Amino acid sequence: MTQLPAGDVPKVVGRGALCVSDVSRALAFYAALGLRVVLQQPNLAVCELRGGTHLMLVQATGTHPRGPVTSFGLVVEDASAYRERAAAAGADVSPEWVDARTRRRGFDMTDPDGHVVSVLSPLDAPESAV
């Protein structure tokens, strides 16, 4: 297998998507968590995270799965402070936990559609070295 030079390695994940029952409601939720609104249409909204990653919120055409989102998670500078912000925005938040392998602090939050998204501190955060 050919390995690319380090400078050619992608810098960020370009996008992720969630099927939602109400695009406006989902967009308001994620905007309250600090994501920047890039596009809003009746059946599609796009919000942006720092670094340019886009979260697409797509109108579900039928029932959508609820529960853990395994396709992505969010990394924030201060998981404890962000947990408070998520709770204030109406998210159902879990107690904080520490990943046994990486020692990263985190929590799970449930959005209005029942998607459970993990939120973690960065790998290089001082709290990860505990």
pLDDT of amino acid 90: 85
Q: Does domain 14-129 have CATH number 3.10.180.10?
A: yes
At CA 124, angle to CA 119 and CA 126, rounded to 5?
Answer: 90
Instruction: Measure the N-to-C terminal CA separation of the chain; round to a whole number of Å.
Output: 37
Q: Report the b/e string of 1-22 with b at 16+ CB within 10 A.
A: eeeeeeeeeeeeeeebebbbee
pLDDT tens digits, 68-115: 887 778 888 888 999 999 999 888 999 999 988 778 889 999 988 999
Mean per-residue pLDDT, 25-51: 93
Q: What is the mean pLDDT of the chain?
A: 83
Q: Which residue has the tokens 């955060």?
A: 125
pTM: 0.72
